[in-house]
Amino acid sequence: MISPADILNASILIVDDQATNVLLLEQMLREVGYRCIASTMDPHAVCALHRDNRYDLILLDLQMPGMDGFQIMESLKEIETDGYLPVLVITAQPGHKLRALASGAKDFVAKPFDLIEVKTRIHNMLEVRLLYRQLEQYSRALESQALHDALTGLPNRRLLMDRLSLAIAHAGRNTSTMAVMFLDLDGFKQINDTLGHDAGDTLLSLVADRLVAAVRQEDTVARVGGDEFVIGLWELNHADGVATLASKVIQAVSQPYLIQGRDVNITASIGVGIYPLHGKDVETLMKSADLALYEAKRAGKNDYRIAAHTDLLAMALTQAAPMDRPRCK
């Protein structure tokens, strides 16, 4: 909700070529208790000022020499791309009121000023403006929640899929390679069972931090399950590099963690799928990496495996029984 203090802290720009009008409005706003008031008598300065300060309200005189209020509103629309123009026009011409509203102004006040009316219109407009801002923030937060894991803040499976599709398209266009690393912690259940769920949560967050630190900024580290993470490597210089990186990630994860005043140790297993060798689409690539992870686990954990070639994989998938997964390199 919007409090009276929020409204008084809102930022306001007064635009009028007449110094007396600027002074009158400024004085009135200060008397009411508004704190963030700026003004200009230069119509050409308005857009740059708004771009830098994003005012909650612009009190805009319509008739000014050189550039009128209608032209200013057109330019402001290029800054306020979401279409909300925080403009309250000031006009002495009754005929301009409707035109100003049609041009995007949210309200108007007539000259000569009726100060009580001006104060009320400013207050009401700011209330709507701040509610609109709050709504924008909520919807951004909701959007972010829908795409991120709440515990670690990492991208979730949905965002990962999107990023992997982009990385594959990029690699396809540039005839380069990219890779998917499927990582699962070894014996994580025991951490929960012995130290408690909170310690388990802390460990997952610390692992997430280490994974992010181990790869490049353009790569994607996502949490896709309880103790399962996927790293999408945007571009590989050569296929050998991925083996070195997998070792580096395993090494990073296996360093001790200080949780609740004690050293906690964990290791990780990794399966790797490389585009286009092990899959040309997200699903196949993820499946390849998952099967390679299964091999790494089966071979004793704390190690990585790189997927089998897709043709072998397809053959093995059609022939093998469910628990007899294909062998990887």
Ligand X SMILES: Nc1nc2c(ncn2[C@@H]2O[C@H](COP(=O)(O)OP(=O)(O)OP(=O)(O)O)[C@@H](O)[C@H]2O)c(=O)[nH]1
The residues that are catalytic are 227
Q: Does the protein bind ligand X through residue 189 (CB under 6 A)?
A: yes
Dump the DSSP string for 197-250: HHHHHHHHHHHHHHHHHHS-TTSEEEE-SSSEEEEEEEEESSHHHHHHHHHHHH
| Residues recorded for the chain | 329
Q: Please, what is the minimum distance in Å from the beta carbon of residue 74 to ligand X?
A: 51
Q: Which of 2, 47, 67, 151 binds ligand X (CB under 6 A)?
A: 151
Stretch that binds ligand X, among 38-46, 163-171, 197-205, 285-293 (CB under 6 A): 197-205
148 or 297: whose CB is closer to ligand X? 297
Query: x-or-dash pattern for ligand X, window 101-140, by CB under 6 A?
Result: ----------------------------------------
Query: x-or-dash pattern for ligand X, window 215-254, by CB under 6 A?
Result: -----------xx---------------------------
Contact 48, 75 (CB under 8 A): no
Contacts of 165 (CB under 8 A, 6+ apart): 282
Phi-psi region of 187 (alpha: psi -120 to 50; beta: other; left: phi over 0): left
Q: Please, what is the minimum distance in Å from the beta carbon of residue 181 to ligand X?
A: 15
Q: Does the protein bind ligand X through residue 201 (CB under 6 A)?
A: yes
Q: Which of 122, 185, 208, 296 binds ligand X (CB under 6 A)?
A: 185
Q: Does the protein bind ligand X through residue 298 (CB under 6 A)?
A: no
d(C-alpha 29, C-alpha 23), whole Å = 10
Dihedral (CA of 31, 32, 37, 42) sign: negative
Stretch that binds ligand X, among 10-18, 85-93, 178-186, 308-316 (CB under 6 A): 178-186
Q: Does the protein bind ligand X through residue 200 (CB under 6 A)?
A: yes
Q: Please, what is the minimum distance in Å from the beta carbon of residue 41 to ligand X?
A: 59
Reduce the DSSP state of residue 2 to 3 states and report it.
Answer: coil
Q: Please, what is the minimum distance in Å from the beta carbon of residue 185 to ligand X?
A: 5
What spatial distance separates the first Cα and last Cα of the chain, rounded to whole Å?
Answer: 59
Q: Which of 55, 108, 188, 294 binds ligand X (CB under 6 A)?
A: 188
Residue 325 to residues 220, 271, 289, 319, 322: CA-CA distances in angstroms? Answer: 27, 13, 12, 10, 6
10 Å CB burial of residue 67 (0-12, 13-18, 19+) is: middle
Contact 245, 215 (CB under 8 A): yes
Q: Please, what is the minimum distance in Å from the beta carbon of residue 43 to ligand X?
A: 56
Q: Which residue is nearest to ligand X (CB)?
A: 226
Residue count at the site for ligand X (CB under 6 A)?
16
Pairing of β 36-40 and β 11-15? parallel
Q: Which residues of this chain interact with ligand X, rule CB under 6 A?
A: 151, 184-190, 192, 197, 200-201, 204, 226-227, 297
